[in-house]
Amino acid sequence: MLKTKAGIVLMCATFVSVQDAFVYPLPSSRLNIYLISGMCTAMSPVSLADVTHKCVCWHSFDQNSLVVDDKTFCVLPLLHYIWFSLVSWLLLVLIILRVTGSLII
């Protein structure tokens, strides 16, 4: 983290691959959950004003064992954002069901 005349700048790692962690029942990217891999060696500056979500980053596990994959990570938004996304998604589904006549209330 650096303080400059323009504001606070974070020095962040960037990744070559960003993909959905799961696709069913909906793509995980809709909840801002991703699998990332291929960390670049150079750090990139990011303005604090450009940060849209606070996230946690965990090591991923190999799909066939409990061995930690130290090159792939799962990125999850903090809980308050997940709840907002889930509530928004559920409201959208209810509106679609109501409009199409599939849901009678």
Contact residues for 19 (Cβ-Cβ < 8 A; gap 6+): 34, 35, 36
pLDDT in tens for each of the 105 residues of the chain? 888 888 899 999 899 999 998 888 888 898 888 999 999 999 999 999 898 878 888 877 666 666 677 788 888 887 665 666 676 667 767 766 766 666 555
* Per-residue pLDDT reduced to its tens digit, 65-75: 666 777 888 88
Measured between alpha carbons, how far is 13 from 7 in angstroms, rounded to an integer?
19
pLDDT at 95 (0 to 100): 64
Position 102 scores a pLDDT of 62
74 bridge partner residues: 35, 58
Q: Note the pLDDT of residue 17.
A: 95
Which pLDDT score, from 0 to 100, does residue 70 have?
74
Q: Are 47 and 62 in contact (CB under 8 A)?
A: no
Task: Quote the pLDDT of residue 72.
Answer: 86
